[in-house]
Amino acid sequence: MNESPAPADLPKPDELPQIAALFVPPEEIDRHGRLHFTTFQHLWRTHFHVLEDAPMMPRPIDISAQVVRSPLYRNDCKYSQFENYRYFCYTLSGVGGFSDASGIYSVPEGQAFLVEKDNADAAYFYPPDTREPWRFLAFNYNGLPAHAMTRALVNKYGPIYSLPPDTPIIKRLLAYEALGHGITNIHMADGAQMVMELLLALTAAGRAKEETDPVIDLVRRAIPIMSTGEDISVQDVARALGVSREHLSRCFQRRVGMSPRQFCLEQRIRKACLLLKDTDAPIKTIAAQLGYTEYSNFVHAFRQVTQMTPSEFRQRGFLPLSQIFLHDALPPQRNTIE
């Protein structure tokens, strides 16, 4: 019988590779740290002691409220590459600034940024033209699933999020003000639930941001028309939506990561896969049903998408089709601070 792995053999909690790494001399890190800690004030800070902790579980590290008044405040994450935490920073009043490889952002009241603290390309700072103190909520957390979700969120929705002050997770985090400066015990399950509640709230905020994006709205209206499995031209879809073919193509490429023509093709082949598996209809009948007048064209298109012929798919293909049709949205566009 196989023995369970010893704790030392288990995967480490935080093993995602850095997004960007940069060598910084230790003396420079030390110099930055001494200056940085003179440029802000902790209003309160609570450290979490996780009870019955387990490898790789999401876990809170600390929560604090801080205020910045100094124009010298700037934390380049190249100086915190040894901190494999993820950091959520929510503006309570005033305005902060954030930058990474995607751009430079203003972070006013009610908005937050999400960052991997070992990402050498990232930084957060007190904007030079700001006069009002920047007061913010700062939450550090780690654990491999939380790291992976954080990276997925930033890749999909970008680093900036809007959350109303009455959002349950914001109220929950702010409630730790009552403890002042100190340490609190939290069970592993409660700590993991807290981190996941935050990440799910940010997911909902990211989705809400998409609802107001006219590009996404256009793509969403186009997809049902293009998902019938029938032979329909991109020009016909654009005409039905009241836009030009070129505009539809640009929007589709930006948000779906492929051209409308490729999407239409894949939708037809997706329907073909289902018919091949769920019915006994002859393959030529399925081809005709999907609008292919030439059987050879159907076979060519099917092979182009699935890397196998219709006959091969019927014999050894599989459902669901998620491993055949894998497409990620493009990363968010670069923004600049206002």
Domain of 251, CATH number, reads 1.10.10.60
Residue whose pair of structure tokens reads 């998902």 in the numeric block: 227
Q: Which of 225-229, 246-250, 317-321 comes out lowest in average pLDDT?
A: 317-321
pLDDT band of residue 193 (cuts 50, 70, 90) is very high
Which range, 12-21, 51-60, 317-326, is most confident? Answer: 51-60
For residues 34 and 149, membership in a common domain is answered with yes
The reported pLDDT for the residue numbered 15 is 63
Whether residue 122 has pLDDT greater than 70: yes
Domain of 193, CATH number, reads 2.60.120.10
Whether residue 39 has pLDDT greater than 70: yes
The reported pLDDT for the residue numbered 335 is 44
Beta bridge mates, 93 = 135
pLDDT band of residue 320 (cuts 50, 70, 90) is low
Residue ending a domain, among 211, 244, 259, is: 211
pLDDT band of residue 5 (cuts 50, 70, 90) is very low
Q: Is 335 a member of any domain?
A: no
**Choice between 74 and 211, residue whose per-residue pLDDT is larger:** 74
User: What's the average model confidence in pLDDT over 239-252?
Assistant: 90
pLDDT digits (tens, 9 = 90+) for 133-176: 999 999 999 999 999 999 999 998 999 999 999 999 999 999 99
Residue ending a domain, among 194, 211, 228, is: 211
For residues 83 and 226, membership in a common domain is answered with no
The reported pLDDT for the residue numbered 224 is 86
For residues 104 and 26, membership in a common domain is answered with yes
Whether residue 219 has pLDDT greater than 80: yes
pLDDT band of residue 256 (cuts 50, 70, 90) is confident
pLDDT digits (tens, 9 = 90+) for 265-300: 888 898 899 999 999 999 999 999 998 999 999 999
For residues 163 and 303, membership in a common domain is answered with no
Look at the chain and report how many structural domains it folds into: 2
For residues 223 and 197, membership in a common domain is answered with no
Residue ending a domain, among 156, 185, 211, is: 211
For residues 124 and 253, membership in a common domain is answered with no
For residues 277 and 143, membership in a common domain is answered with no
Whether residue 29 has pLDDT greater than 80: yes
Q: Is 326 a member of any domain?
A: no
For residues 97 and 222, membership in a common domain is answered with no
Q: What is the rounded distance in angstroms from the CA atom of residue 87 to the CA atom of residue 118?
A: 10
Whether residue 307 has pLDDT greater than 60: yes
Whether residue 329 has pLDDT greater than 60: no
pLDDT band of residue 229 (cuts 50, 70, 90) is low
Q: Is 264 a member of any domain?
A: yes
For residues 219 and 207, membership in a common domain is answered with no
| Residue 135 φ then ψ, to 5° | -110, 130
Q: Is 337 a member of any domain?
A: no
For residues 71 and 191, membership in a common domain is answered with yes
Q: What integer best gives the mean pLDDT of the chain?
A: 87
Q: Is 1 a member of any domain?
A: no
- Please give the residue range of the domain that contains residue 227: 215-316
For residues 252 and 117, membership in a common domain is answered with no
Q: What is the rounded distance in angstroms from the CA atom of residue 289 to the CA atom of residue 291?
A: 6
Q: What percent of the chain has pLDDT over 70?
A: 88
Q: Is 237 a member of any domain?
A: yes
Whether residue 190 has pLDDT greater than 80: yes
For residues 53 and 160, membership in a common domain is answered with yes
